[in-house]
Amino acid sequence: MTTQATRIHTVALVGHGDSGKTTFLEHALHKTGAIARAGSVAEKSTVSDYDAEERDAGHSIDVSSAHLKWHDKVVEFVDTPGYPDFAGGAIAALWACDTALIFVSATTGVAVNTRRMWELAGKLGKARVIVVTKLDAENADPVRAMDQIRAAFGPSCRPFNLPVGAGAAFKGAIPCFDKERPAPGGTLCGDPHVARTDFLEVVVEGDDALLEKYLAGEEVTHEEAAGALTAALVRQKVAPVLFCSSTHEQGVGQVLDLLAEYAPSAAAPPGVRAKDAAGNEAEVTSEGPFLASVFKVASDQHVGKISYLRVWRGTLPADGIVWCSSSDHPVKLAHAHPARPLGKELQPVQSASAGDIICVTKVEELKLCCTISDPSHTAVVAPPEFPVPMAQYAVVSKVKGDEHKIATALHKVQDEDPCLHAERNPETHELVLTGLSTLHLEVVLKRMHHRYKADLEHHLPRVPLKETVLAPAEGHWRHKKQTGGRGQFAEVHMRVMPNERGKGFEFRNGTIGGSIPHNFIPAVEKGIHEQMAKGVIAGYEVVDVIAEVLDGKSHPVDSSEAAFKIAGARAFRDAVEKATHALLEPMVELEIDVPSRSMGDVTGDLNSRRGRILGLDSRDDRQVIRATAPLSEVQKYSTDLRSMTSGEGSYTLKFSHLDPVPANVAKKYVDHFQKTRTADDDT
C-alpha cells in the first residue's frame, strides 16, 4: 500500500480567473492520452468546465477532478474556480490535495486571487509550485511576471525552467534542474546554468549534510538533490517556477515531470493531521485504517447526490461500511462501486486506497468536509476555514405554491457550497440568502432555475429597525362600543418610559383600588405586546420601554378581556406618540482589510456611509480598518469594496448595537408608514 501511495500525487490547480488552469489541465490530459482531443474554454468543450452555468460564463464555477498517468506515476488533478466569488470550492480542493499548482498569466501577472491562494496553501501546509502560462500570447512578458512573483511571494520562488522567447517567438522552455546539467546560454529570464546553481543552493540549505557537501565543492548527485527538493517543497522552503504554453503543449511535460518526480506523494500528505476518538492528534500517513474526507458534493438529476472523496490512508472497506463524522454513526456506501472522476465522466473502480480521488453516489449522510473512516478506528480530519459570506439577497418564490420546491432546491445548493447560507430572518420574516458576493448569489439563483425549476425573485433584505421612547409620556384610551346588545367598554391610562438599551420591555401595574379589575390586567399587557410588535411611529417593533398602567375604568356588564386588550394597545400607542420617540437602526462592526494604496478611498467612503473609524492596524503593505456603520449603508458593500480596491479588499461584519436613526433619515420611514397605514391600524 505504501508503494502504491508513493506513485500518486494529488494536485490542486489554483490561481486567479483566466490564468490558464483549465486550459493547462485540458492539454495535460491530451498530452498523456487521457483524452483523444483537447477542448477549449472558448469552444465550451473542456473536460473540467462541464456544467451549463460554467460554459455560459466562460470560466470555472465548481471544482472538477481528473487524473492522468505520467511515466509510472498517477497525478490526480483538481481544477478550481479562479474568482473569489466562488472561493469555497478552491479552499476545499486545496485542503484535499498535497500540492498547490499556482497559475500566473504571463500577460497579466500576479492577480488578487493568486495572492490569496498562495497564502492559503501556505497556511494549509501544502507544497507550492508556480506555473507561468500563456507564453505564446501577443503581450506575454515572462520577465515582468517573474519580477512580480518574486516581489509578491519572496525569494523562495526560483525558476525551474527558463523560457526561450515570448509571444509569437516562444520556442519552449529549457529545464534548469534535470538529471544532466543544462548547457550555458541566454534566455529572457537568464542563463539556465546559473539558474540551476541558484535553485540548487536553496534546495540544499535544508539538508545539513548536503549543504556541507555542496559548500565543499563536491558533486551533489541528482538522486540526492531530488530527495532534498521534495523535502524543501514540503517545508515550503522553495517554490519552483515553470514557464509554458498550454495550447501548444510546450513546457507542459516539464510541469508533469516536476510533479511526478519531486512533488510530495500520497504516502505522507503534508499538513494533514487527524484526531482519533480518544482526542489524540497525529500526522496522517498512507498506512493504517481507512480514512477519507469529502471535498466536494454535487447533485445530478440522473445520478443523484455525488460525494467526492480524498482517501488519506488505508483501503476502502470491501463491505462499504464506514463511520461518518457528520452523522456520528456508521453508514453503508451501498449503491455502487466507487468511481474515479474524469470531469463529468465517472469511471467505476473496484477499490480505493490512499491517494485516490473517488466518487460515491446516493449517500445522503455525507456532508461537505466531513470525514469517513474505518468504523473500528474512527478519526476526524479538521475541515478548513472558509470566508464568512457577507452579501445578502432576500428571496421570494415567483410562483405561489412552490415553497416545497424552493426548500428542496435551497437544501441542495447549500449542501454543495460551504459559503452559501439560507435562513428566515425572525424579525423581518424574509428568507435571506447569504453568499460571498452578488455574483455568487446570482449564479446560485440561475442554478436553482436551470437545475430545479425553482424561480426566485430577489431584493435587498429589509433592515430590521426598532422603535423606542427617549422620554416619559402619558397616554389614555377609552374603548366604548354599543351595538344594541352587550356593548364593549374599557378605559386605560398609561405612562411609558425609556428602559435601558437592551433591557427590553417591562410592564408595571400601578392601579390602586381596583380601578381596573385584576383579571383584566393581563389583557392590557397582551394588547401592549401586540401594539409593540406592529409598531407605532413607523411600523417597526417597539423595544426597551417601560409601560406602567396608572388608572382606568370598567363596566360590570360591558367590560371584557377583548375590550381591555384594545384599550391597552391604544393607550400605549397614544403614550408613545406623545413621547419623544426615535427609530433605532442596527449598527455593525466592520473589519476591513485593504491594500495601503486604497486606504484613503475606503476611509472616505466609510465617512459618506455614516461610518465611524475605531482603529487602524498595519500588516506589511496592507491596512486593517476597524469601524462601525449602519447596516443599511453597507448592504452592498462587497461590490463597492471590490470596486474601490480592484478586488483586493475583504471585510467581515457583525452586529454591534442599536443607534438612533438621524432625524432626516427617520422622517422618510415615518412618512411612508403614515401614508400606508390601513384603516385596521386605527381601530
Average pLDDT, the chain: 92
Q: What is the mean pLDDT of residues 536-546?
A: 95
160 pLDDT higher than 90? yes
Percent of the chain with pLDDT over 70: 97
Give the CATH class of 287-381: mainly beta
Is residue 86 within a helix (H) or strand (E), and if so which, with residue range?
Answer: none
Query: What would the grid cell of residue 91 be?
Result: 479552499
In angstroms, what CA-CA distances link 326 with 283, 368, 372?
21, 9, 9
Band of pLDDT at residue 239, cut at 50, 70 and 90: very high
185 pLDDT higher than 90? no
2 pLDDT higher than 60? no
Is residue 122 within a helix (H) or strand (E), and if so which, with residue range?
Answer: helix 112-124
398 pLDDT higher than 50? yes
Q: What is the pLDDT of residue 231?
A: 95
Q: What is the pLDDT of residue 493?
A: 97
Q: What is the mean pLDDT of residues 620-641?
A: 91
Query: What would the grid cell of residue 306 be?
Result: 455525488
Question: Any alpha helices (H) in 208-308, and if so which ranges?
Answer: 208-215, 222-234, 252-261
Q: What is the pLDDT of residue 190?
A: 78
Band of pLDDT at residue 335, cut at 50, 70 and 90: low
Band of pLDDT at residue 301, cut at 50, 70 and 90: confident
24 pLDDT higher than 50? yes
CA distance 79 to 23: 10
CA distance 155 to 199: 11
Q: What is the pLDDT of residue 411?
A: 94
Superfamily of domain 2-197+238-261: P-loop containing nucleotide triphosphate hydrolases (3.40.50.300)
Q: What is the pLDDT of residue 679?
A: 47
Q: What is the pLDDT of residue 178?
A: 76
For residue range 549-596, what is the model confidence (pLDDT) as tens digits? 999 999 998 999 999 999 999 999 999 999 999 999 999 999 998 999
Q: Strand pairing partners for 547?
A: 496, 507
CB 240 within 8 A of CB 130: yes
Q: Which amino acid is at 219?
A: E
Q: What is the pLDDT of residue 183?
A: 67
Place of cell 532534498: 228
Same fold, 391-459 and 583-665: yes
In angstroms, what CA-CA distances link 217 with 187, 211, 464, 535?
27, 10, 73, 85
Q: What is the mean pLDDT of residues 156-178?
A: 92
CATH number for region 583-665: 3.30.70.240
CATH number for region 391-459: 3.30.70.870
Nearest to 360, CA basis, from 408, 406, 300, 402: 300
Q: Is 201 left (phi over 0), alpha (psi -120 to 50) or beta?
A: alpha
Q: Which residue has the higher pLDDT, 677 or 601?
A: 601
Instruction: Quote the crossing angle between the two packed helices 403-416 and 438-452, to the nearest 10°.
Output: 120
For residue range 509-533, what is the model confidence (pLDDT) as tens digits? 999 988 999 999 999 999 999 999 9
Band of pLDDT at residue 181, cut at 50, 70 and 90: low
CA distance 616 to 625: 5
CA distance 632 to 586: 8
Q: What is the mean pLDDT of residues 367-393?
A: 94
Query: What would the grid cell of residue 532 be?
Result: 409593540
CB 533 within 8 A of CB 429: no
CATH architecture, domain defined by 466-579:
2-Layer Sandwich (3.30)
Q: Which residue has the higher pLDDT, 548 or 181?
A: 548
Percent of the chain with pLDDT over 90: 76
Q: What is the pLDDT of residue 681?
A: 55
Q: What is the mean pLDDT of residues 652-668?
A: 90
Give the DSSP letter string of 548-561: EEEEEE--TTT--H
Q: What is the mean pLDDT of residues 627-645?
A: 92
Q: What is the mean pLDDT of residues 156-173?
A: 93
CA distance 634 to 640: 9
Q: Which of 10-24, 131-145, 208-222, 288-302 has the lowest mean pLDDT?
A: 208-222
Place of cell 362600543: 481
Q: What is the pLDDT of residue 336?
A: 55
Place of cell 500566473: 104
Domain boundaries, the chain: 2-197+238-261, 287-381, 391-459, 466-579, 583-665
Query: What would the grid cell of residue 222 be?
Result: 541528482
Q: Which of 30-34, 217-221, 323-327 has the lowest mean pLDDT?
A: 217-221
Band of pLDDT at residue 281, cut at 50, 70 and 90: very high
For residue range 669-679, what is the model confidence (pLDDT) as tens digits? 898 888 877 54
Band of pLDDT at residue 289, cut at 50, 70 and 90: very high
Q: What is the mean pLDDT of residues 236-241?
A: 96
Q: Is the pTM of this model over 0.75?
A: yes
179 pLDDT higher than 70? no
Q: What is the pLDDT of residue 334?
A: 66
